[in-house]
Amino acid sequence: MQLNDSDAITININGCREDIPEDPQKNCAGLAIVDLLKEVNSNIGVLIEPRKMITVGAGLGSSGACASAAVYGLNKLLNLNFGMDQMIEIASRGEIASGSVAHADNVAGAMLGGFVIVKSYQPVEVIRIGVPEIPIVIGVMKKTQRTTRSLIPTSMALDVVKEQLALCSRVVHAIMTGDIEELGRVISKDFISEPVRSRSIPGYSTIKKKLLNGGAYGCNVSGGGLSVFAICDRQGTHDIAEIMKHSFAEQNIDSETIITYASNQGIREIFCE
């Protein structure tokens, strides 16, 4: 990221470019920068060169991470002294470029690392909880698409709400006690996102069943995109990754498999050549 006197926001994407728009109004990081500059009444020129090392449009939050990085960097370069909550708020508006809605789901996690509860939106306030070691295997369909956020229904029966509240409480409890098996059981259930979003993944229920039978503690759709993630124990990651790969292949889906771990590290500065 660099400041210049061009009066313009310029985005040059490196790495997994795919179809990421470089128009600032259509790019999450770009839109976040537009918003921030408006907020501080500046028309300074900004060049960003995101290096995407992850598949795009897969519901893995890379656009949110990029928006967070843009806001964090600009806060530093312009000496704005924005607090974390304020930076999250601005970055969350960048998400409008990918899903039409401002939301902090991804940017809060990218900023802070760990597990983040968004307490409120106006103003944005969050609680960050440190995570135990959580091995995660992700299967990404190699196909870009906009998020499926708009498909989620707008109301929910109260007896289902009750179940979802119990699930939500259990997630927090499982993370805080470091109980990964319980976490797996809980994240495998969901009444809001999974029923809608899994529809876009051919053979989703079969893939899920194979992963759970193969020893994964839990499995669900990742974010709004077309990825499936599973959590398991450290010893099991390669086996689960194999099952993931084969289950996708059986559905004739061209996929990429990633083995990773939940991270407590939030945003940070790195220096590249």
Residue ranges in contact with a copy of itself by CB under 8 A: 117-120, 127, 129, 152-159, 161, 164-166, 168-173, 176, 192
Whole-number minimum distance, CB 103 to a copy of itself, in Å?
Answer: 10
Dump strand ranges (E) for 158-272.
218-222, 227-231, 255-261
Whole-number minimum distance, CB 181 to a copy of itself, in Å?
Answer: 13
Residue among 118 and 258 whose Cβ is closer to a copy of itself: 118
Q: Are strands 115-121 and 14-15 parallel, antiparallel or unpaired?
A: unpaired
Residue among 16 and 171 whose Cβ is closer to a copy of itself: 171
Residue among 40 and 160 whose Cβ is closer to a copy of itself: 160
Whole-number minimum distance, CB 116 to a copy of itself, in Å?
Answer: 10
Contact 249, 255 (CB under 8 A): yes
Whole-number minimum distance, CB 96 to a copy of itself, in Å?
Answer: 16
Helix (H) or strand (E) holding 190, with range, is none
Contact 222, 137 (CB under 8 A): no
Whole-number minimum distance, CB 164 to a copy of itself, in Å?
Answer: 7
Residue among 11 and 262 whose Cβ is closer to a copy of itself: 262
Contact 45, 9 (CB under 8 A): yes
Q: What are phi and psi of 101, to 5 degrees?
A: -130, 135
Residue among 6 and 130 whose Cβ is closer to a copy of itself: 130
Burial 118-138 (b: 16+ CB within 10 A, else e): beeeeebebebeebeebbbbb
Measured CA to CA in angstroms, residue 40 lies from 8, 66, 170, 261, 266 at distances of 16, 20, 41, 37, 25
